[in-house]
């Protein structure tokens, strides 16, 4: 159960950071993903707008995922 809580809180923190500082987070993923996808595709995939959108999705949906995971573990 602690693994589920730690994972969900990590994704929630990542979502909040993506909303607060999307440029910094997108730059981090562009540098890491540039070697895998190439610089142009990485810049397109990890743009600041997409980071902010993903952050909003994480913040909105992670509590439901955590609730479901914890309910299944305790059941």
What value does the mean pLDDT of the chain take?
Answer: 89
Containing 47, the helix (H) or strand (E) segment is none
Q: ∠ at Cα 26 (69, 52), nearest 5°?
A: 60
Name the band, by pLDDT with cuts 50, 70 and 90, for residue 2.
Answer: confident
Residue 59 φ then ψ, to 5°: -65, -35
Return the pLDDT at 60: 92
Number of domains forming the structure of the chain: 1
Burial of 49 (0-12, 13-18, 19+ CB in 10 A): exposed
What is the pTM assigned to this prediction?
0.76
Rg of the chain (C-alpha set): 15
13-42 pLDDT, tens digit each: 999 999 999 999 999 999 988 889 999 999
Domain carrying residue 45 = 2-74
């Amino acid at each position: 159960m602690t693994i589920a809580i730690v994972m969900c809180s990590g994704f929630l923190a990542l979502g909040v950071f993506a909303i607060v500082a999307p440029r910094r987070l997108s730059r981090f993923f562009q540098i890491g993903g540039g070697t895998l996808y190439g610089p142009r595709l990485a810049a397109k995939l990890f743009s600041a707008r997409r980071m902010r959108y993903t952050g909003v999705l994480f913040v909105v949906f992670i509590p439901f995922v955590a609730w479901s995971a914890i309910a299944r573990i305790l059941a």
